[in-house]
Amino acid sequence: MQLQDDNQPYDDINVTPMLDLAYVLLLIFIIMTTASVQGIKVNLPKASNTPSLAKPQTKAITITEDGRIFLDAYPVSMPELESRLRALKATNPALPVVVKGDAKVQYEKVIDVLALLGQLDITQLGLVTQRLTR
């Protein structure tokens, strides 16, 4: 058996106390995390099956490549479009409208529809486009 001189440095470090501390900290972390997730139990109310009355009534105006105009999925002429939008605007003053024009449609058709929307004072307006792919 060899005795170590007090003036000689140690060859290895005892990591056992450091590992004990790490395990204790891990255990405390696990206990605190699960305790905070549980929270307080409450009896939540059930949602009704009736549809919400505050649904936005967005109307879509589509202009096809050959210049035909559709309101939602129904074909309309410009006078019909004006009368239907006027009636919709009377029931909902903040009527939101989106315009989907085909890329190959004449620019004049889209301008005519936008001018009609301006005459009817429809200010919530969106133009639908495709994302540019690179």
41: buried, middle or exposed (CB in 10 Å: 19+, 13-18, 0-12)?
A: exposed
From first to last of its 134 residues, the chain has per-residue pLDDT tens of: 556 566 777 777 888 889 999 999 999 888 887 765 555 555 556 666 655 555 557 888 888 888 888 888 888 999 999 999 999 888 888 889 988 888 788 878 888 888 998 998 888 888 877 766 66
Helix (H) or strand (E) holding 30: helix 16-38
**The CATH number of the domain covering residues in 59-127:** 3.30.420.270
- Determine contact, residues 116/85, Cβ cutoff 8 Å: yes
17: buried, middle or exposed (CB in 10 Å: 19+, 13-18, 0-12)?
A: exposed
Question: What is the per-residue pLDDT for 45?
Answer: 61
